[in-house]
Structure 1
């Protein structure tokens, strides 16, 4: 389909909208989404990417944070672009598209990219094992080179698709295969994974002249995405099938025999052996129900820990034997006690986390339409407690998913806490974080969808704020460390879902938390986990490590960071950030003004996100003459249909053009200047004529429905004369 026809189709969509919809929802007019060089949305000067070479290779510094090889004592912050393309989303771009795309990523502030499901793309439509599509392989190689030229490092999955590089499958983006389980059990599967690394990562990229595995741009390999044995068995759980694959029975029996020696000893430990279960005959079964607590389940978890740690060691050796020098991670989801122990041996910890997860795109798919502030940012706290202190921490995937109406929160909540915790990489998941235009002729580009943030003005506004809060470091790192002490296998319980208690992960909203097995003379969370967050906070206040003026009140759902810059108020549904360079608030309602310091939000006609950031490299809100103002409400596709009035269950995702919910806010900026003006910025960075001007006191009503079309971005400029 030609671009002209696509644009005409979108334009027709404007006229086809019902008049009633225009009362609340306004169609986006922008077609191009390529940010213009030098525009307020071009962060390539504000957040410059440097040259990638041996001295700038990413390593783990002495304190366990990511740093460059030539200056290991200086932590670096990596803002990640998720590249999870498939034929349905357009696949890997051609050479011209790759150059444009990489250049745009740099302008948006990204300095690292994660390649996800690359194995599936390389093998799409192929019938023979390891018979990579030559055009796709060429495009992948060229993109890697283009990213590197733009100062963007790489994270690559060693395996994403459960079909690996086996030929003859057309379901490579689905979780039907058993390769991730067999990697732990089967020599053929392990050899297949090893060959995949050799044929893709260890062969020379013609556009860089070096194999990716030897390239200084390759910062991290995730051995296999979401490959925990327990999680994989949950993914494959089906009614009428055993909860655990029969392939686990023999190695589990060998492990039990080594541990207990006899059926009698095992029976004494478990107390629930069936008459036909004999260890000597290898007939002891894994638990029949993973959701029933038992001593059998506790031993199965211990077995998984040993098997997963051994598999990581084997896989890591394969990469090292190929000459890989970068970091290695795996088991990047499910923050249970068991998986935490498996991750203990990793060089870097990686985790995935979602708020209001959506299972698919089919009619009937559902989410809850609840706020992440309402559960005190559970999806953030959950992975914060999975971090191992002293190791780089990488968020390989997160999102607050479309079509949740509170997803504007994601642009503040996750990046603010990621910065507070001092995490090393932050990656909001999607097919790609940006698109070059609306109207691309691919199934997953014809409307906004879950796991596809590029077309969503609300998600894109959040990523813009995240680049400043997180990568620029507008939010300060916590001065406190609150360790969760780990003993080892004795921390396992009979519950396979056991994880760090919610009432203790609340501590992540105040200071830095993480797991440690080092005994230290410091205030932390002991084993067993029977402590109370309020008691720990009281001890921190008494010690002087937390100010007595800190406003945190766990009982009332109020949490203030030790830096004083972040405030989460669960009761009011508000989240606030106040730093020298950025002030912002996300709010479910506004019953009274929000005073952030320089910015005061007086009135709002609905829920949303408002932020203001200095646009000078070392500027502050009290000094900067140019500021980026972000106002995000909600966005939907034209013609979206739901099965219920609460818009929880989708019937039809609709089509382009994207509609932005109209909204306005009354703002005051505590600056007294000669002249000031507020100008809308298009989604491509175009600055339009001012919609608000004044002299002296800076106060105005801001509407996102501008004469130039709806937008989420505005430029505030001051003339001090």
Structure 2
């Protein structure tokens, strides 16, 4: 593949600068496949050799594993753990074995690609399913760190990738908006960080929140790239209208519109990166060899990813010499001068409670006095003050100079702190957001796009329950939009000079919308169904007359 020559450029893919990234084995973390690995003689041989090199004698292994080692086990017959999630020394050693083998494997791949194929593309691996702290040692040899996440990914009840399928169909803002926040800890500071697959999957009825959430997350975490999976799985869907499916943007007008929020908030940098950086840090690789068990990578305080930038850091420096990050030491076995470093957050990252974490963040000013984050009320506010998630009622607001918006429930009124926009939602939950189409702030922009997203489903789609958790049949075209209304109030410098237009999905104007003018504001009503239009309305243009 890499030696194929592009007939238009005359370059082999290996030398083409357009090839920027290589993920070597998609979702190929060894721990994902322990069940299969246990059955291969080659893997058993490699595992036993690794144990023999580490412990030298079976007596040393017995001292480490104690009763975990079966009396009949000896080098050559030692079994893999039953589960990688067992909190045992056998499982811990297996994780270290996988980590070291991953490092060795990727180094061989890099040497081949760099030295034999002369390819300079950045190389990564290990991007889904199972995550342990020891995996970061392997990621440290990558050129960049990549990950995947999905909200409402289907689970197949009878046969893989065949209906019926099941998903939770819940508001993604509940439970501190879990979607991407865990995956921020996959990041290794000092390396590019990407998410090459993400989606808020159809037919989830709350997926309209996905664009706002991902756009803010990627901006707040100052990521390097993000790709929604996928645009299309077929040529036919690109050339012709097709019914909604789990993943493809080309068949989902709601997620297409939602994706523009990611573009504006993240790619256009409308939302600001976090003001602080927190790192789970370790500079003693021997820490892992001393542990009875190795913790999973994602701490229970991953909600902090909605407040500030988080990640992991492997460094040879003492923590007091690392100036760019607030460090949460992986090991408690640290001494002066590290222990009294002003950038040290003194709580155990994998054995703490949420309130202890929040107290530590407040003590360092990461959560400032004006930040209204409240764990009991399930409110999380970014240190930029541009994002607020109210997880208890399943709503959010985003308030930046060029893009502002909300996700809320019926009969909910949300006012942005800057008063740039006020939204009264009716009839249906909805994502409502506005973005400027020039370089100006909302208050003085000459042209803006307003998006109103409720839910989009196929005609004659069939669910097996009233909660819409079990999908039985996809249905057919045309797409149907859930009816929803909202009243929008915009704060503008010259509100009397603006017109509001309902738009078709191709951007053409359908109908001018009535409006109400006050000295500093423009108010108008929107609806997914507008009289005299044949199609659902999701988009509006606000422009100077």
Q: TM-score, normalised by structure 1?
A: 0.67
- The aligned counterpart of 1:319 is 113
Which residue in the other structure is 1:705 paired with? Answer: 529
690-699 or 467-476: bigger deviation: 690-699
Change in Cα spacing, 1:427 to 1:438, as seen in structure 2 (3 Å) is closer
Aligned residue in 1 for 2:339: none
Q: Does 1:357 align with 2:153?
A: yes
Shift in Å, 1:308: 0.3
2:343 aligns with none
CA contact (8 A) 1:587 1:607 kept: yes
How many angstroms apart in 1 are the aligned matches of 2:354 and 2:328? Answer: 9
Residue 550 of structure 1 pairs with residue 371 of structure 2: yes
- Residue 462 of structure 1 aligns to a residue whose secondary structure is helix
Correspondence 1:336-347 to 2 at 5 A: 336-347=132-143
Q: Is the 8 A contact 2:34 2:83 kept in 1?
A: no
Are 2:478 and 1:657 aligned?
Answer: yes
- The residue number in structure 1 matching 2:544 is 718
User: Match of 2:337?
Assistant: none
Aligned equivalents of 2:542 and 2:19: distance in 1?
Answer: 39
Q: Secondary structure at the match of 2:303?
A: helix
Alignment of 1:112-123 (within 5 A): none
Determine helix, strand or coil for the equivalent of 1:525: strand
Deviations 1:478-502 (A, max 9, x none): 1201111134363486667723222
Contact 2:515 2:525 in 1 (8 A): no
The alpha carbon displacement at 1:545 in A equals 4.6
The answer for the alignment partner of 2:29 in structure 1 is 228
Partner of 2:338: none
- Is 1:520 aligned to 2:319, yes or no? yes
| Partners of 1:435 and 1:454 within 8 A in 2 | no
Q: Deviation digits for residues 516-550 of structure 1, max 9, x if unmatched?
A: 02343353322242344544444444444542111
Give deviations 1:53-76, integer Å, cap 9, x for gaps: xxxxxxxxxxxxxxxxxxxxxxxx
1:246 to partner: Cα distance:
4.1
> Could you tell me how far 1:397 is from its partner in structure 2?
0.6
1:275 paired with 2:39, answer no
Which residue of the partner structure matches residue 253 of structure 2? 457
- For 1:430 and 1:474, how far apart are their aligned partners in 2? 24
Tell me what 1:15 maps to: none
Give distance in 2, aligned partners of 1:426 and 1:569.
25
CA distance in 2, matches of 1:439, 1:209: 29
Q: Secondary structure at the match of 2:81?
A: coil
In structure 2, do the counterparts of structure 1 residues 661 and 433 end up closer, same or farther at CA, with 3 Å as the change threshold? farther
Q: By how many angstroms is 1:434 displaced?
A: 11
- Higher RCO structure, 1 or 2 (CA under 8 Å, sep 6+): 1
Q: CA-to-partner distance for each residue in 1:632-672, whole Å, 9 max, x for gaps?
A: 00011111111111110111011111111111101111224
Structure 1 stretch 286-295 or stretch 702-711: which is displaced more? 286-295
2:345 alignment partner in structure 1: none
Alignment match, 1:404: 204
Partner residue of 2:307? 510
Matched, 1:258 2:63: no
Match of 1:219 in 2: 20
CA distance in 1, matches of 2:136, 2:28: 14
Instruction: Find out whether 1:619 has 2:440 as its counterpart.
Output: yes
The DSSP-based 3-state class of the residue aligned with 2:329 is coil
Alpha-carbon distance in 1 for matches of 2:94, 2:33: 15
- Comparing 653-662 with 225-234, greater Cα deviation is found at 225-234
Larger CA deviation: 618-627 vs 425-434: 425-434
The aligned counterpart of 1:501 is 299
Q: Which 5+ residue runs of structure 1 have no aligned equivalent?
A: 1-199, 237-241
Whole-angstrom CA distance in 1 between matches of 2:540 and 2:225: 28
**Does 2:503 match 1:681?**
yes
CA distance in 1, matches of 2:207, 2:93: 40
> Normalising by the residue count of structure 2, what TM-score does the alignment of the two structures yield?
0.87
CA distance in 2, matches of 1:433, 1:613: 30
Alignment root-mean-square deviation, CA: 2.3
The residue that corresponds to 1:58 in the other structure is none
Q: Deviations over 1:425-473 (max 9, x none)?
A: 0111125399997873xxxx74211122221121111111111111000
The number of equivalent residue pairs is 506
Unaligned 5+ segments in structure 2 are 331-347
Question: Residue 275 of structure 2: SS of its match in structure 1?
Answer: coil
Q: Which residue of 2 aligns with 1:139?
A: none
Output the CA distance in 2 between the equivalents of 1:668 and 1:353. 35
Tell me if structure 1 keeps the 8 A contact 2:23–2:123.
yes
- 2:489 corresponds in structure 1 to 668
Q: Which residue of 2 aligns with 1:562?
A: 383
Tell me the alpha carbon deviations over residues 531-590 of structure 1, each in whole angstroms, 9 at most, x when there is no partner: 445444444444445421111112321111111100011112111100000111112344
Q: 2:87 aligns with which of 286, 293, 307?
A: 293
Contact 2:527–2:537 (Cα < 8 Å) also in 1: no
Give the secondary structure class of the aligned counterpart of 1:416.
helix
Mapped contact 1:638–1:655 kept (Cα < 8 A):
yes
1:210 and 2:210 aligned: no
Residue 380 of structure 2 aligns to a residue whose secondary structure is: strand
What is aligned with 1:419? 219
